[in-house]
Amino acid sequence: MKQSDENKGRFRLSEEDYIRFKSIAAPIAHDPRVMRMQEYIQHGQVTTYDHCIDVARTAFWLNCHFHLGADEHKLVRAALLHDYFLYDWHDKGDHLHGYHHPAIASSNAREDFELTYAEQKMIESHMWPLTLFHIPTSRGGWILMLVDKLCSSGEIINDRYSKISRLF
């Protein structure tokens, strides 16, 4: 896709930052195993894949824009894999998906990719405080945790708003 197609919206990256983001994200984002996340809905009508791309891009933007100092490679990689659980959470499991999926995503990611310890910890702590004992321990972990909540909230609100607006 062209830069203008993918780099729209409130958190628009500079051309230089966009190129850097794509170079970090592409090896994981284009991996066929990761692209399987396109088969699953995350929130509303947003696929898990699109959610992870949005979280990665937004986290990268915040880190660059506010000079937060997180390792951008680790941040983007962890953000792309933070929901790498590879199932439809609406149908599978014991309705405690929010508690369990960080560990499942981390395990799947470790199996399919060479992750650093920091990347594993970012994935495992992204649902804090829901996962009470998995507290973010790095700048990247805190950014990922906050951005995931920001993006998820936006996806849910957008879905609810579109359903309500169709009624009128």
What band does 11 get if pLDDT is binned at 50, 70 and 90?
A: confident
Which range is most confident: 48-52, 96-100, 153-157?
48-52
**pLDDT, the chain, mean:** 89
Nearest to 151 by CA among 71, 82, 90, 89: 82
- Torsions phi, psi for 42 (to 5 deg): -95, -70
The proportion of the chain whose per-residue pLDDT surpasses 90, expressed as a percent, equals 70
Give residue 89's pLDDT: 80
pLDDT (0 to 100) of residue 153:
92
Q: Give residue-wise pLDDT tens across range 25-72.
A: 999 999 999 999 999 988 788 999 999 999 999 999 999 999 999 999
What was the pLDDT predicted at 92? 74
Say yes or no to pLDDT of 95 above 90: no
Neighbours of 113 (CB within 10 A): 17
The string of pLDDT tens digits covering residues 60-78 is 999 999 999 999 999 999 9
Check if the beta carbon of residue 140 is closer than 8 Å to that of residue 122.
yes
Number of Cβ atoms within 10 Å of the Cβ of 54 = 22
pTM for this predicted structure: 0.89
Question: Are the beta carbons of 16 and 60 closer than 8 angstroms?
Answer: no
